[in-house]
Structure 1
Amino acid sequence: MYPTPNTNLLTLTLLLTTSLASPLIEKRAPPISLGLARTFGALAASTLTSVGNTVVTGDCGTYPGTSITGFPPGPGVCTGKTTSGGLASLNAEASCLLAYNNAKGLVPTRALTSANLGGLVLPPGIYTFPTEAAALSAGSTLTLSGAGNPNGQWVFQIGTTFAAGANSKIVMSNGGQACNVYFVLGTAASIGANASLQGNILAGMTIAASAGASGSGTWCSKNAAVTLINNKLVALSTCTSV
């Protein structure tokens, strides 16, 4: 039996549909998850230090380091478990490392033309910068708009440092959730006085916050210390993240 014109047309339609649909599936980034680290507000590889009346709503921990200072019996408060060098911190650091590597390995969807995030309104995506370092300038606001999708994720791939200036802000809008925001940086994060940030900070080295800064999400250093001064951190353990 010879193929009819209708058969040839159906075959061509199927081939075109397959070839056009496949790239759309490949461009969809797999979701990032913090796993067992999601209950931690502050997690360090070496030391976790608090000065003053820091309040961490969630767990606090170190691994493989064992030094935690400034929390009970100090003035700082950690509402969840405080574990130094224990199994819970080991598992959390392992989860943090996995999330870090997964986020770093994602294919970028947008290359930003400025290293300064201040004043931008950004939809979900995987972002890179024109320089190795990135910043949120003092007094500025970064708005992350979810476009009505609560599962949209933002991943900021930063080669070296991230600096949030004093009184800077990250705000969520249009259904976006802070639990789905990841700042993934090669070295250190510095958070200026009274800055108010939304999202998880996964740093290769230190995370240091100045007085009055606050954050929603997990602040995790995979190789160094986390230092806090009169800060307020809230772990997003019950967030409806994907």
Structure 2
Amino acid sequence: MTRNNIKNYFVMSVLILSASGMIQNNAFAAPTLGTASNFAVLGGTTVTNTGNTVVTGDLGVSSPGVACTGFVGCTTTGLGTVTGTIHVGDPIANQAHADAATAYGSLIGATCTTIEPAVADIGGQTLTPGVYCFPSSAAITGTLTLDGSGVYIFKIGSTLVTTAENSNVVLINGATADNIFWAVGSSATLGTNSVLEGTVIAYTSITATAGATVDGRLLAINGAVTMDTNNVTVVGTGDGGNGNHDDDEDCTGGHGHDHDGKDHDGKGGHGKGHDKDHDNKGHKDKGHDGKYSGKQYGKN
């Protein structure tokens, strides 16, 4: 081997090692949710609902909270429906609560890769996988685009607020809802008709106002989850949630079996839309039209 060849070989080896190190440094581990992964909604004190909310996944309230209102099958019935199992103050809900608290601890212990301003609105931005830390509060006004496969962790010191009507999270190039986590230091408020992707774990409470849609989970550690005519669909449990696909698109069925977002033949996910006008006539408002299909929900 000539001197130049040896030099070139050495330089190439250094470049390969450097690239490997960059890949490792940018690989952020998702927290283990344990039994909480089965829950689309989990409250620490109560879960309350007004209107035709649809929860695809389990719903629970851990002890000492013993109240669940506004859903068929809860302690006080209502218009809301749950396609999974309802657990109120039982060992399954209590274990899920403990697992959610452990996951929250893992999230807030993650090393920051980006430190945002004390009060930050990340609407209008395009972000890649990483750990984004907000010393105080975070807001989403307009469209937040998450670009690329990998884990997204948002560590928020106090509150998360998504604005009404125009707050939307769009996933591109392999980003998936099951790899997005919002660790909220106090409470989260999801604005009217807003769309959020990922698992929200709030130290205190979560309020989803009328028409808000979530692909992920709403898990409150010490407070209530308050809902009003929402759609919350659990992700990342290996089967795209507990519901079956609604082949006739009349909003009475589940939301896809393998969550790949490709079509409506029982193999696809539910896109981004959940019939924002709540007329039970289809899913054309923000999805099911190909705009958010395919790569956005790529895990089967």
What is the TM-score when the length of structure 2 is the normalising length? 0.69
**Match of residue 106, structure 1, among 101, 110, 117:** 110
Determine the C-alpha separation between the residues in 1 that align with 2:195 and 2:186: 21
Determine the C-alpha separation between the residues in 2 that align with 1:161 and 1:143: 20
Which residue is 1:67 aligned to?
67
**Shift of residue 75 of structure 1?**
1.0
Determine the C-alpha separation between the residues in 2 that align with 1:80 and 1:26: 38
Determine the C-alpha separation between the residues in 2 that align with 1:108 and 1:71: 39
Distance 1:169 1:20, change over 3 A: closer
Determine if the alignment matches structure 1 residue 170 to structure 2 residue 169: yes
Determine the C-alpha separation between the residues in 2 that align with 1:198 and 1:142: 10
**Shift of residue 97 of structure 1?**
0.9
Which residue is 2:198 aligned to?
199
Determine the C-alpha separation between the residues in 2 that align with 1:22 and 1:78: 45
Determine the C-alpha separation between the residues in 2 that align with 1:27 and 1:213: 32
Deviations 1:56-75 (A, max 9, x none): 01110001111000011311
Which structure exhibits the higher relative contact order, with contacts defined as CA atoms closer than 8 Å and separated by 6 or more residues? 1
The alignment's C-alpha RMSD in Å is 2.5
Question: Is contact 2:140–2:162 with CA below 8 Å preserved after alignment?
Answer: yes
Deviations 1:128-167 (A, max 9, x none): 13x4011112xx0101111xx3xx0000000000000102
Determine the C-alpha separation between the residues in 2 that align with 1:144 and 1:22: 23
Determine the C-alpha separation between the residues in 2 that align with 1:208 and 1:58: 18
**Shift of residue 21 of structure 1?**
8.8
**Shift of residue 28 of structure 1?**
4.0
Determine if the alignment matches structure 1 residue 160 to structure 2 residue 158: yes
Unaligned runs of 5+ in 1: 1-12
Determine if the alignment matches structure 1 residue 136 to structure 2 residue 134: no
Determine the C-alpha separation between the residues in 1 that align with 2:91 and 2:227: 23
**How is 1:1-242 mapped onto 2 (pairs within 5 angstroms)?**
25=24, 28-64=27-63, 65-72=65-72, 73-113=77-117, 115-129=120-134, 131-137=135-141, 140-146=142-148, 149=149, 152-167=150-165, 168-236=167-235, 237=237, 238=239
Say how many residue pairs are matched: 225
What is the TM-score when the length of structure 1 is the normalising length? 0.84
Deviations 1:56-104 (A, max 9, x none): 0111000111100001131110110001001111121111111111111
Instruction: Indicate the SS of the match to 2:71.
Output: coil
